[in-house]
Amino acid sequence: MISKSCGLAGKGGKPVLRTQVAIIGSGPSGLLLGQLLHRSGIDNIILDRVSKDHILGRVRAGVLEDGSVRELQAAGAGGRMAAEGIPHNELNLAFAGRRHFIDLKAHTGKDVLFYGQVELTRDLMALREAAGLTTYYSADNVRPHDFDGDRPYVSCDIEGIETRIDCDFIAGCDGQHGICRQTVPAAAITVFEKVYPFGWVGILADVPPVSVGLMYVNHERGFALCSLRSPTRSRYFIQCNTDERLENWPDQAFWDEFRRRLPEETAAEVTTGPSLEKSITPLRSFVAEPIRFGRMFLVGDAAHIVPPTGAKGLNLAISDVHYLHQALLEFYGEGSSAGLDAYSQKALSRAWKAVRFSWWMTNLMHRFPDTGPFEQRMQETELAYVLESRNAAAAVAENYIGLPY
């Protein structure tokens, strides 16, 4: 068993905790990392600036790659996912008013799984609570310190009390607006970014999904996406302008426009209903390099953002967790820093491939401000090639299922 230490000490009247890995952020990446470390005998504390209810109230992704499913199973979080998740092996692409599909399983032997991020997060929270592991929600003024040396620590206010957490390593799982990346000196990090000239209006509704389940639509009025969360809950999107406001999209207006963009036979299968949640999502690609800074490691959205077109955001966070968990296991179990030294290169290599796929899908399926007859014909030709070429279809399926770790 790997040795660990965790305790509470007094230092100048200020509480001081000790752990091996301090995890900032209790979204899926932070919770999954904490669970995997716990199962490996590595002590950890999780901190988050928001409440548990706030985290569970965020409606996010719902498509899990094969590798993500296996990683969650390894963490002991596969029970409810296996019972309630929906396997899906058909990627539908629609253009010129017709629906076409790529058989994911025929090309890869694998499928994707529909299981909402909120449910995944709920499962990981329950595992952490059942194990009696330490998590501090609604912690104020969380900030990493001295991660460029041998004794990093995190300062924060827990229930109004200034607290210090001494640790061996810090995992920054705190998202794109989190403090960890902000704390890195500007000269030590390079940012690559592309902002797309449109967004998505999304709706979540308790209505059965259209029979195709998952479909990407290229239409002259703009992109549309059919997805789902369960046999009775659907998640749908349509492309919109960047300056759109939610008040411009009452439910009926959304349903009318959504059906207008679908092939006729699919539009006839859509069941409408009141929205449970509605949002506007801007589309952007963002990658930070490197994502290791001494003894602090960026994970998930703190390190990279992708357009949701390729369903890669949550899955990239899980692959980051995989690499970091393996590196920490090697460090504590074998005394080797090789995995830690390679973390940034391994995680970013896979991330950039997912960024490329999301960029390709976004360019293929959306109408851009400068899309003219030539550009539209190129999109249609590219789509036709993907469907007519077994090799091209296999490449799309391989990327959608998820590249190996």
The catalytically annotated residue of 38, 88, 107, 366 is 88
Report d(CA 401, CA 49) in Å as an integer. Answer: 33
Q: Which domains does the chain have, with CATH numbers?
A: 7-78+117-192+285-358 (3.50.50.60), 87-114+197-283+369-401 (3.30.9.10)
Torsion of CA 59, 308, 90, 274, to 10 degrees: 40
**pLDDT of 190:** 98
Distance (Å, rounded) from C-alpha 53 to C-alpha 367?
37
Cβ atoms of residues 90 and 209 within 8 Å: no
The yes-or-no answer on residue 385 being catalytic is no
Q: What is the pLDDT of residue 4?
A: 40
Distance CA 232, CA 205 (A): 9
DSSP 21-36: EEEE--SHHHHHHHHH
Q: Which of 312, 322, 325, 366 is catalytic?
A: 312
Of the residues 216, 236, 323, 343, which is catalytic?
Answer: 216
* 216 belongs to the catalytic site: yes
Q: Please report the pLDDT score of residue 213 as a whole number.
A: 72
C-alpha 278/C-alpha 203 separation (Å) is: 5
Residue 3: its pLDDT value, please?
31
The predicted pLDDT at position 60 comes to 72
pLDDT at 145: 98
Per-residue pLDDT of the chain (405 residues; tens, 9 = 90+): 233 444 444 545 689 999 999 999 999 999 999 999 999 999 999 999 999 988 888 777 789 999 999 999 999 999 999 999 999 999 999 998 999 999 999 999 999 999 989 999 999 999 999 999 999 999 999 999 999 999 999 999 999 999 999 999 999 999 999 999 999 999 999 999 999 999 999 999 999 999 877 899 999 999 999 998 888 999 999 999 999 999 999 999 999 999 999 999 999 999 999 999 999 999 999 999 999 999 999 999 999 999 999 999 999 999 999 999 999 999 999 999 999 999 999 999 999 999 999 999 999 999 999 989 999 999 999 999 999 999 999 999 999 999 999
Establish whether 405 is a catalytic residue: no
CB contact set of 133 (below 8 Å; sequence gap of 6+): 34, 38, 44, 46
308 is catalytic: yes
Q: Which residues pair with 9 in a beta bridge?
A: 16
Tell me which of 144, 152, 263, 308 is the catalytic residue.
308
Which run of H or of E encompasses 342?
helix 338-365
Catalytic site includes residue 400: yes
pLDDT at 116: 87
Cα torsion 112, 117, 118, 122: sign: positive
